[in-house]
Amino acid sequence: MTQLTLLGTGLMGAPMARNLIRAGHDLRVWNRSPEKARAIEGAQACDDPAEAVAGSGIVISMLSDGPASAEVESAAGAGFADGAIWVEMASIRPAEARAAGERFATRGMGYVDAPVSGGTKGAEGGTLAIMAGGEADAFGRVAPVLEAMGRPVHVGPVGTGQLAKLANQAIVACTIAAVAEATLLLEEGGADPAAVRDALRGGFADSTILQQHGARMTARDFAPGGPARLQIKDLENVLDAAGALDLPAVRAVTDRFRTLRDEMDGGELDHSALYLELRRRNEEN
């Protein structure tokens, strides 16, 4: 058994914690809302970050964003074990990951940025895509732990895991927009969207987004798996990382997600709810 710490037991962190426990790890957990940490059976719920990280060789962060992660890192103070590795599994900016890597290096600790894709279903099933940036030795140490939660792949130095996640989120957002348009076209044209999704299985247009989010759109089921507000955060980070690069599809879909959040009160809906913004757009025309 390896003593681990997981900071953040929300929608994604809770099932990830349970998979770590099932894999036989000795897990400490902490969350801003203590009841969410106490709900993880088999884990030791801690009262503060310093208690949570004490003695753990690997500390996993699954918090909301870069500033939240840095705040908890600071709150942990000197509680970290010597030579521990911080694994940042939340989606933060590549520049934030690089800065965190430098901070941890000055205190003799390792750092791996390993954001995930796959949503709550992937977290529950232990099938997350895990994109890891960091030194090869550090990745080698944490890879067996990450395998309890999904499929880790080392993509380069610190910060490139986050860059890979941004590329993933750009693809996800643009694909959601395309699936929404296809769904609306099918519904308004009299076809059965579910039957069409079945017909497209295995073809070039098939994807997890088509099958899962297409079904959500048809059922109007927008209970949050991946909230739209977090999709917006990721897209804004894509545009920030792009710098002078022009990414017109990303810019356009970012503006549409902002409309969903700001004008339709949809920030807490699943990101597949972009379909609602599309339907409103067409009803207004």
Q: Which residues carry out catalysis?
A: 165
Continuous segment of H or E residues that includes residue 107:
none
C-alpha span between 141 and 57 (Å, rounded): 10
The DSSP secondary-structure symbol of 111 reads E
263 φ, ψ to 5°? Answer: -105, -15
3-state secondary structure of 91: coil
Which amino acid, one-letter code, is at 280? R
Cα angle vertex 68, ends 96, 27, to 5°? Answer: 105
C-alpha span between 160 and 114 (Å, rounded): 9
Contacts of 107 (CB under 8 A, 6+ apart): 80
C-alpha span between 255 and 15 (Å, rounded): 32
> Is 13 in contact with 40 (CB distance < 8 Å)?
no
